[in-house]
Structure 1
Amino acid sequence: MRKKKALSRKLLVLTAGAAIVAPALSPVEGASAKGASFTDVSARYAEAVSYLTSKQITNGLTASRFGTDVSISRVDAAIQLATALGLDPQGAYKSAGFTDVPARGQWAVNALAEKGILSGKKPGTFASHEPITRNEMARLATLAYELKVDEAVTKTAFTDVSLKWAKYVATLVENGIVQGKTSSHFGSADPVKRGEWALLLYNLHKMSGKSFDLTIMHTNDTHAHIENAARKVTAIKEVRGAKPDALLLDAGDVFSGTLYFNEYLGQADLEFMNLVGYDAMTFGNHEFDLGTKPLADFIAKAKFPFVSSNVNFTSDENIKGYQINGISALPKDGTVYGGMIKEVNGEKVGIFGLTTAETKEISSPGKVAFDDYLEKSKETVAAFEKQGVNKIIALTHIGFQDGGGDNDRTLAKEVEGIDVIVGGHSHDQLKEPVLETTGKEPTVIVQANEYNKFLGTLDVNFDKHGKVIGQAGKLIEIDAKNADGTYVLKDDPEAANILAEKYKPAVDEKKKTIVGKSAVALNGERADVRTKETNLGNLITDSMLEKAKTINKNAVIALQNGGGIRASINEGDITLDEVLTVMPFGNSLAIMNITGAEIRAALEHSVKEAPGQSGGFLQVSGLTFTYDSSKPAGERVQTVEVKKPSGYEPLSDQESYVVATNTFTAKGGDGYSMFGKAYQEGRVSEPGFVDWEMFREYLQANPDVAPQAEQRITDVHQ
């Protein structure tokens, strides 16, 4: 069968507590059939209408009326047929040259005409609003679904079917797709009713092979945030209640980020992962932060397998015994495979894993090697296909469009055969799946943000060849609240008991740990960190810059949004609890490669509301700047100097600088569009170190600090 470009057709996504419909394509006609009870659909048409409406091929004319006995126009028939075939409404199709096709149907008519499936009534005229006849229906269906035609047929048993239409009518009748109105009368020139058309498309769908629906739940970058584990367990159970065969996958970075990891080294997270029954996990860079011994212990006790096609543990004494090269159709718990085959409802689904090669520079993997992710992906996809697997999931920890050299967008474009990418590393909150259509077949990309804030859900519809022909996804907010402040998701009793009795007491005690000492009070007052330089802002940005330099020696500047500093710290001992109160969001480190002009624009944005408060006001390290708050916004910055080894030098608009910040700001948060642009262009890498951990490390390395305001930021108007 000819390859058809897939349509991002939205499917029903069942989420915690309720069934919701993802945003659909603009309706072809009338009101949506979602949840409707049509009064004019008899038993004869019920299955066909249900199929068309559930797949968003068409809707009802109204909420209660499908229009079974209403004639379908040629343009509406074209739209429904093109949608059923999975053609892309956003595709670039050659104009068929018809002047009477309404805008809503131009894509469908052009696409079908380009494929030689339909033609106009005469040059330049499609006759969009005329009813389609049964003869025309026969020809359209035969060509669209590439049914085998006996060219020798010149007549049929129907006296009203001429030579022109005989072979098409005969093909449909012989395949049991349509019948005549009587044994001798086909009704060749009769208009086709919407009910008849629904039956036609439904019968063609059944004849051409059953489609396959797959549901995936996914998490990534949870970073030991298990405070809400009991609500997450509830969310997973509710999705499974609606979709019992749903897969549950994790894209890495379970390790590092909260005191639960510091205390339990991933074992607390693992108990909850085992409890809910993950199907597979791949490794994030932070899984290697403490070498490979804690990771080996994690793997050994896991009640699920791991997939990793580009991570080679051969030279690692701790993990090499757990790794089996190649693909397994019977994967064992606590074992690492290049890929695995999971059978879902009789269909084989391939799953393989990838980890960013940046891990060598931003973590501590020791002798673990990281192979080229594109080469290994191509090899693994080919191995799956050799075993007859045509539905393939890449479980990745390389970032959505991370600038570190490997990312999901590039993977989807460069490697043919991957149907779904479940990603991590960049902490992106993809509220809806991203459809990459560069290759012969589309690839769906999803990612569920960070810190167990969301459970990702994805429904994918495959045709019989394993091509994605429909998809819909949603993020379930684990900590969503009702109007009265109660959580929407209730705690799972078993999980809540495990957390409260087994893990939380030790963490609460650890918060009392002293991590440093300050000879002065550290000013993190809201009114100050959002309007001027403070000594706490200086200390935090200094810690950020020092960490960035260990990753990229060319880092010279650090920027911290004032809105990310939430409290002051008194003079004297500094506890972990105080550090976590100052930095409660767990923002991650990002390293940007940006121009001096972009830095200058960012500083202008930082002070645009001065002397008023702004959460986007930047605390800085590695530079000083002056501004005049009396001047118009956008014209306030007067001087900017960057600290180099030889001393401070004027900022050059043309020069590129390596700048550290947090991922929230780097992705354009607080209105920093210049940073967002750099992120979109792949000029931002995300090593992922958490802000409070970097600050704690800095305090531990400098146990008696006394930071001062140093005129890094000066308003010359005051």
Structure 2
Amino acid sequence: MNRREFLQVLAVAGAAGMTFPAREAEAAQQLRDLYALPRFGNVHLLHFTDCHAQLRPVHFREPDVNLGIGDYAGKPPHLVGAAMLRHYGIAPGSAQAYAFTCLDFAQAARRYGKVGGFAHLATLVKQLKAGRPGALLLDGGDTWQGSATALWTRGQDMVEAALALGVDVMTPHWEMTLGAERVKEIVEGDFKGKVSFLAQNIKTNDFGDPVFDAYVMREINGVPVAIIGQAFPYTPIANPRYLVPDWTFGIQEENLQQVIDEARAKGAAAVVLLSHNGMDVDLKLASRVRGLDAILGGHTHDGVPAPVQVKNPGGVTLVTNAGSNGKFLGVLDFDVQGKRVRDFRYRLLPVFSDALPADPAMEALIGKLRAPYEAKLGEVLAINRGLLYRRGNFNGTFDQLILDGLMQMQDAQIAFSPGFRWGTSLLPGEAITMEHLMDQTAITYPYTTVTPMSGETIKTILEDVADNLFNPDPYYQQGGDMVRVGGLQYAIEPNAPMGKRIRDMRLDGRPLEAGKTYKVAGWAPVAEEARQAGGRPVWDVMADWLRGQREVDARPLNVPRVLGMDGNPGMAA
């Protein structure tokens, strides 16, 4: 499908009664123009990441808190709301403002519609590839996890969808939570000869042998291009070690430099890192290694409209991050002349599903993949009366719902819920179905726990997670947002030293006592002992609670008092 044919399809869809999300001719034309992206240069890379197994269009609210610390304060990706609009020159109230910020989310969502969906993404990929001969489609990982069907099929639904989408290269993170054997089964089976599954930083525990290929060389319009894979470095810490017991991860900066040098020595005129590090880690990495033209990044779910240009001993590296949930498609065009990149163009395109006709073949495949599960997915658990979302440094309304449900069902004083960044959003008035609940909880270690903890232990846990999120050195940030806390109030100073960020912890208005024991509910434990204890899956506990509620409002958020962050553009006013 070329550009003219694509616009004709949009015109036919409009004539047939398809309504564009803005309900205005001018806005509809803006969306058409958005996707009619002119070709530039001779090397073309398309990039999506962190779709978290969302095959259908979704709502996904961007964060209102995404704090940068130290050298990263007030810089991309740590800009939210109006600060982000000002930085990138995005008009308030526009479709782009809806895509990139949380501002007026419920109203904007009703105006502009849902985002993502593999059938709509497929249409966009085909249109862009038609105008960009030889373009490669890169998948930054977190693809086989995040939905009920991905969990129930052990990732098979997403494997088939990725193959149909035409993915050329992939690197992993949450894929590993399916277990090493399942990952190898897919890589050596479905993907063999079709998708290059890359990870220069995954080695065997015993002899340090590479588990997967470090990079692949592809020729695009006569230009040799190297794509290097960088899996999430902290997988055995952020996720259960027992799922990948024989593999090591890590950033492995020195090894990466060797791989870059090897690719250059073999004639690569352009070298790109397909990364699942998280953007702050990528920014530091880009300043320390030489020879990378770009890092196409993921993990932190940051939708960043323009790349950050990072200087290093070898020149300049572009650093990007392409959001999550199938909401964006990055388009990087290089002009390569004389065996080096002379110029580039980059756009991060929001995937507005109302403005992109569904690809018929992909739509049929999705229907087939979901058919055995539709009745179970569609069970209505309760009616939602508020805006439910997850993403944000400290809490989200859907997380608050989980916290409240856990405390009530487990008869606990305090609850912890992981600071996961994935999880779709629900508008006021929408039914909460089993599918929506699974969108928040679908993991391979869903066990609920009830643990007696001393006040001292609770503080230690909060301090550890805070350091993971707010350590000024990105290499010590292991991903995720702050653990969500129910029942307990506290204050946090992100700029304080390690071990001194958490203070003024209170339960029912009374100070938490270091030596006193409290009953704490939680879920998603990474220790193998918790798996063996076998607490009920969190979705079963929460489904029972929601059925009993029948109707829920967005609960008041239990968030900490944040100290020392006045004026930080990573916190919406």
Write the deviation string for residues 564-618 of structure 1: whole angstroms up to 9, x where unpaired.
6756999xxx96146369999xxxxx9544999xxxxxxxxxxxxxxxxxxxxxx
Write the deviation string for residues 106-130 of structure 1: whole angstroms up to 9, x where unpaired.
xxxxxxxxxxxxxxxxxxxxxxxxx
Paired residue for 1:526? 386
TM-score calculated relative to the size of structure 1: 0.45
- 1:462-481 pair list within 5 angstroms: 462-466=336-340, 468-480=341-353
Give the C-alpha shift of residue 414 in structure 1: 0.6
> Contact (CA 8 Å) 2:42, 2:221: kept in 1 or not?
no
SS in 2 for 1:457: strand
1:344 matches 2:220: yes
User: In 2, Cα distance between the equivalents of 1:15 and 1:440?
Assistant: 41
> Contact (CA 8 Å) 1:225, 1:260: kept in 2 or not?
no
Write the deviation string for residues 620-650 of structure 1: whole angstroms up to 9, x where unpaired.
6253489xxxxxxxxxxxxx95248xx7349
Paired residue for 2:106? none
> Contact (CA 8 Å) 1:223, 1:255: kept in 2 or not?
yes
Paired residue for 1:505? 371
1:621 matches 2:510: no
Paired residue for 1:306? 197
Give the C-alpha shift of residue 457 in structure 1: 0.7
Seen in structure 2, the aligned counterparts of structure 1 residues 620 and 239 have a Cα distance that, compared at 3 Å, is same
Write the deviation string for residues 548-574 of structure 1: whole angstroms up to 9, x where unpaired.
xxxxxx9899899xx96756999xxx9
1:490 matches 2:357: yes
Paired residue for 2:66? none
Paired residue for 2:315? 441
Seen in structure 2, the aligned counterparts of structure 1 residues 15 and 544 have a Cα distance that, compared at 3 Å, is farther
Match for 1:526: what amino acid?
G
Give the C-alpha shift of residue 395 in structure 1: 0.8
> Contact (CA 8 Å) 2:387, 2:426: kept in 1 or not?
no
Paired residue for 2:511? 648
Match for 2:486: what amino acid?
S
Seen in structure 2, the aligned counterparts of structure 1 residues 386 and 369 have a Cα distance that, compared at 3 Å, is same
Write the deviation string for residues 289-309 of structure 1: whole angstroms up to 9, x where unpaired.
121233223212012221111
Which of 255, 274, 280 is matched with 1:395 structurally?
274
Give the C-alpha shift of residue 462 in structure 1: 3.0
1:414 matches 2:288: yes
Percent of aligned positions with the same letter in both sequences? 22
Give the C-alpha shift of residue 278 in structure 1: 2.1
User: In 1, Cα distance between the equivalents of 2:376 and 2:537?
Assistant: 16
Seen in structure 2, the aligned counterparts of structure 1 residues 251 and 526 have a Cα distance that, compared at 3 Å, is closer
Provide structure 2 residue ranges, at least 5 long, that are not aligned to the other structure.
Answer: 8-38, 57-116, 390-394, 408-414, 443-463, 471-483, 492-502, 515-535, 560-573
Which of 217, 228, 231 is matched with 2:120 structurally?
231
Match for 1:310: what amino acid?
N
Seen in structure 2, the aligned counterparts of structure 1 residues 492 and 528 have a Cα distance that, compared at 3 Å, is closer
User: In 1, Cα distance between the equivalents of 2:133 and 2:248?
Assistant: 37
User: In 2, Cα distance between the equivalents of 1:243 and 1:528?
Assistant: 39
Seen in structure 2, the aligned counterparts of structure 1 residues 595 and 314 have a Cα distance that, compared at 3 Å, is closer
User: In 1, Cα distance between the equivalents of 2:388 and 2:165?
Assistant: 45
Paired residue for 2:403? 541
User: In 2, Cα distance between the equivalents of 1:289 and 1:569?
Assistant: 31
> Contact (CA 8 Å) 1:523, 1:568: kept in 2 or not?
yes
Give the C-alpha shift of residue 359 in structure 1: 0.3
User: In 1, Cα distance between the equivalents of 2:238 and 2:348?
Assistant: 29
Paired residue for 2:261? 382
Paired residue for 2:520? none
Paired residue for 1:612? none
Give the C-alpha shift of residue 217 in structure 1: 0.5
Seen in structure 2, the aligned counterparts of structure 1 residues 290 and 391 have a Cα distance that, compared at 3 Å, is same
- 1:174-189 pair list within 5 angstroms: none
Give the C-alpha shift of residue 376 in structure 1: 1.7
User: In 2, Cα distance between the equivalents of 1:534 and 1:312?
Assistant: 36
Calculate the aligned-residue CA RMSD, in Å: 5.0
Match for 1:288: what amino acid?
M
Which of 352, 356, 369 is matched with 2:232 structurally?
356
Write the deviation string for residues 98-147 of structure 1: whole angstroms up to 9, x where unpaired.
xxxxxxxxxxxxxxxxxxxxxxxxxxxxxxxxxxxxxxxxxxxxxxxxxx
Which of 512, 516, 540 is matched with 1:700 structurally?
540
Provide structure 1 residue ranges, at least 5 long, that are not aligned to the other structure.
Answer: 1-13, 19-53, 56-211, 326-335, 402-406, 481-486, 516-521, 546-553, 585-589, 597-618, 627-639, 652-695
Give the C-alpha shift of residue 459 in structure 1: 0.8
Give the C-alpha shift of residue 525 in structure 1: 3.5
- 1:634-673 pair list within 5 angstroms: 641-643=504-506, 648-649=511-512
Match for 2:275: what amino acid?
T
User: In 1, Cα distance between the equivalents of 2:331 and 2:158?
Assistant: 20
> Contact (CA 8 Å) 2:379, 2:434: kept in 1 or not?
yes
User: In 1, Cα distance between the equivalents of 2:272 and 2:54?
Assistant: 26
Match for 1:503: what amino acid?
L
Count of residue pairs brought into register by the alignment: 376
Seen in structure 2, the aligned counterparts of structure 1 residues 469 and 697 have a Cα distance that, compared at 3 Å, is farther
Return the structure number with greater relative CO, CA threshold 8 A, min gap 6. 2
> Contact (CA 8 Å) 2:405, 2:542: kept in 1 or not?
no
Seen in structure 2, the aligned counterparts of structure 1 residues 528 and 494 have a Cα distance that, compared at 3 Å, is closer
Seen in structure 2, the aligned counterparts of structure 1 residues 576 and 703 have a Cα distance that, compared at 3 Å, is closer
Which of 234, 241, 246 is matched with 2:135 structurally?
246
Match for 1:220: what amino acid?
T
User: In 2, Cα distance between the equivalents of 1:324 and 1:424?
Assistant: 22
TM-score calculated relative to the size of structure 2: 0.55
